[in-house]
Structure 1
Amino acid sequence: MQNSTPPLFKQGIPALAKLVACLVIGLALMVIDFQVKSLGFIRNQVSYVLRPLENLMLLPSDLFSFGDDYFTTRSALEKENLSLKTRQTELSLLANQAALLSVENQNLRNLLDLQKNTNFTTVPVEILFNPPNPISQRVVINRGSNHGLNLGSPIANDAGILGQVVRLFDNSAEVSLLEDWDFAVPVLVARNGLRAAVVGAGRGNLLQLRYLPVASDLEVGDILLTSGVDGIYPPGFAVAVITKIERNAEQNASNVFCSPIAEVNRHLQALALIYNPQWDAKPAIGSGGPATAPAPGRRQTRPKGQP
């Protein structure tokens, strides 16, 4: 049976009449739906059937949006993380620098206090670098003969003796530290006045007291001070503390090991001591008055003509 064309869409009906008829039918359905709500059930069923198809059609767009958001967020987080790490590194460096400046500030304060309580001239020095010698324990400072230093000038900090100038230039000097091999300082034991010489034994090794008999009155913990008998080091500066004693009765000798009191590799600032033993000499009897010792903590007056 051949299907016949609906009367509305027969070829004889003009196209405009067909359009008007469709619009009238559509408006009528809209009015009926708005007034009676009779098409709600049908719409819900159709929407229920078409919803999965809509979701399926929107899936590529959702995936594209999700991927774009994911990579955008990941890139932003990576940049933020890198920025935070850089800031953390900067803050860490600033904190380390602040700690270093605090330590140097305290060290400089101690050196200033030491300058006020000495009876000799002091020259502030700064350690520049270590010479490229893996064996010796030496440093180069930023003061030389133009600043009053001499060969043998002691170098010290607020804790005690650090070393001695062994090479002198116009504006710099090389200093041999206490630990340098065979570096010697005349000392005396603060407890009993026993005199000896502290000798360096190389980088990282303990200092030694040599040529002492077994019966020497020494104890672990004794403080060793500069004796001043060499005319180079001012007397009374701390040098080392005895940490170990090995007595050998058969050879009548004692191996005495000491640790430096002034940590030789700790700070970059120190003082060079310009010392003349004549400044500590007492006037001879009959030279104009009794000999008097200087008051502790006060600078002695040097004789005229002395540098």
Structure 2
Amino acid sequence: MDTIFTRGPSLNNRLALALILSVLLIFVDFKLDGFKSTRVYLNSLMSPLQYLANLPGLMLNKSAQRFTSQEQLLAENQKLNNQLLLMSEKLQQFDVIMQENSYLRDLLQTSARSDSRKMVAELMAVDKNPYSQQVVINKGAIDGVYLSQPVLDDKGVVGQVMEVGSTNSRVLLIADVTHAIPVRSLRNNIRFIATGSGALNELYLEHVPHSVDIEVGDTLISSGLGKVFPEGYPVARVSQVIRDESRPFARVVVTPLAQLDRLRHLLLLWKESSAIDDDSIEEKDRGAEKNASATKEVTNA
């Protein structure tokens, strides 16, 4: 009976035959270079398979690089945003400093006379009494502040010092009902008395006859009378003129030029005589020192 599967050479014989053929093929390929063209064809045939085998690794590397690049971009974006925020904050401070610098320059240039002494003060507090318009500044007797000293801002006259402490002072605003300031019209030099109304945006001109030449828009400056406010500083601008013949005087409403509702830095002015007195005192002191030194030299001699 014939079997379906015939038995061939044994495994040992097959292994020996494979080894012999392998050595023979290696010898022929190394010495005779007989499989060069065949190797080229086999490499060409295997190239697509190699690409397919490397494709998952390439995809993983690309994804990892893209993820890393995205993380780096996000980190750099966050860093740049933080830097932008910090620079914006510094730019805001720079703008504020420039604005304050310009404000202080304008404030120091408000003085009509360059030889008079002046000092910049800062607002500390505002009186909460609705019937009184007063503020407190951070300059006092140790800074040379005195009673009835004129106070200005960068726009015009603010008021005068009414109380002096050692380190601070109280200023009575021109809008207070108890305050009055002599003024004159810049257009025609007519003199008036401007009194406070109790409101920060209004002053009244007292006892103005109907025939007086005054118009809306006229600028009023300090006249120098009363010897409190120096002459020539802006005070107010005429905003309303009502001539009612049934009343003995015209009603004239003026608006202060100083920004009384937003004060921050103020300018204290000294009288010219004070500056002259200071100079004379300094000269006297220097003279006394010279005399004392001369007396000492004579005594030593």
Structure 2 length-normalised TM = 0.69
- Contact kept in structure 2, 1:198 and 1:210, CA below 8 Å: yes
Once the two structures are superposed, the pairs formed by residues 257-296 of structure 1 within 5 Å of their partners are: 257-264=253-260, 265=262, 268-274=265-271
- Contact kept in structure 2, 1:125 and 1:142, CA below 8 Å: no
Aligned to 1:143: 139
Q: CA deviation at 1:163?
A: 0.8
Any idea what the Cα deviations from partners look like across 1:92-145, whole Å, max 9, x if unmatched? 42343234324424533x2576341x5xxx442412423363845543223323
2:124 to 101, 126, 129: 129
Any idea what the Cα deviations from partners look like across 1:138-191, whole Å, max 9, x if unmatched? 432233234443332221357642211122212220112334455322223341
Secondary structure of the residue aligned to 2:268 is: strand
Question: How many residues align structurally?
Answer: 274
Aligned-partner Cα distance in 2 for 1:39–1:143? 101
Aligned to 1:161: 157
The structure where helix makes up a greater share of residues is 2
Secondary structure of the residue aligned to 2:228 is: coil
Aligned-partner Cα distance in 2 for 1:127–1:210? 32
Aligned to 1:292: none
2:226 to 226, 230, 254: 230
- Contact kept in structure 1, 2:175 and 2:195, CA below 8 Å: no
The reply to whether residue 254 of structure 1 matches residue 250 of structure 2 is: yes
Aligned-partner Cα distance in 2 for 1:140–1:23? 111
In structure 1, give the amino acid aligned to 2:55: N
Aligned-partner Cα distance in 2 for 1:3–1:58? 49
Secondary structure of the residue aligned to 1:11 is: helix
Aligned-partner Cα distance in 2 for 1:77–1:36? 56
Aligned-partner Cα distance in 1 for 2:199–2:80? 51
Q: Cα 1:140–1:36, aligned 2, differ >3 Å: closer, same or farther?
A: same
Q: Cα 1:225–1:105, aligned 2, differ >3 Å: closer, same or farther?
A: closer
Q: Cα 1:37–1:166, aligned 2, differ >3 Å: closer, same or farther?
A: farther
Q: CA deviation at 1:32?
A: 8.2
Structure 1: stretches of 5+ with no match in the other structure: 280-298
- Contact kept in structure 1, 2:106 and 2:154, CA below 8 Å: no
In structure 2, give the amino acid aligned to 1:202: A
Q: Cα 1:66–1:139, aligned 2, differ >3 Å: closer, same or farther?
A: same
Bigger drift between 250-259 and 131-140 goes to 131-140
Any idea what the Cα deviations from partners look like across 1:32-74, whole Å, max 9, x if unmatched? 8897434434433332245344323543443233223212321
Identity %: 21
The reply to whether residue 193 of structure 1 matches residue 190 of structure 2 is: yes
Q: Cα 1:180–1:196, aligned 2, differ >3 Å: closer, same or farther?
A: closer
- Contact kept in structure 2, 1:160 and 1:262, CA below 8 Å: yes
Aligned to 2:291: none
Secondary structure of the residue aligned to 1:174 is: strand
Aligned to 1:86: 86
Aligned to 1:73: 73
- Contact kept in structure 2, 1:199 and 1:210, CA below 8 Å: no
Any idea what the Cα deviations from partners look like across 1:252-288, whole Å, max 9, x if unmatched? 5433222333444466241233488xx9xxxxxxxxx
Once the two structures are superposed, the pairs formed by residues 165-184 of structure 1 within 5 Å of their partners are: 165-180=161-176, 183-184=179-180
In structure 2, give the amino acid aligned to 1:239: V
Bigger drift between 78-87 and 130-139 goes to 130-139
Aligned-partner Cα distance in 2 for 1:31–1:193? 128
Aligned to 1:293: none
Secondary structure of the residue aligned to 2:113 is: helix
Structure 2: stretches of 5+ with no match in the other structure: 282-301
- Contact kept in structure 2, 1:247 and 1:255, CA below 8 Å: yes
- Contact kept in structure 1, 2:152 and 2:159, CA below 8 Å: yes
- Contact kept in structure 1, 2:205 and 2:252, CA below 8 Å: yes
Aligned to 1:208: 204
Aligned to 1:245: 241
Q: Cα 1:128–1:14, aligned 2, differ >3 Å: closer, same or farther?
A: same
In structure 2, give the amino acid aligned to 1:198: T
Q: CA deviation at 1:222?
A: 2.4
Q: Cα 1:222–1:46, aligned 2, differ >3 Å: closer, same or farther?
A: same
Secondary structure of the residue aligned to 1:37 is: helix
- Contact kept in structure 1, 2:192 and 2:208, CA below 8 Å: no
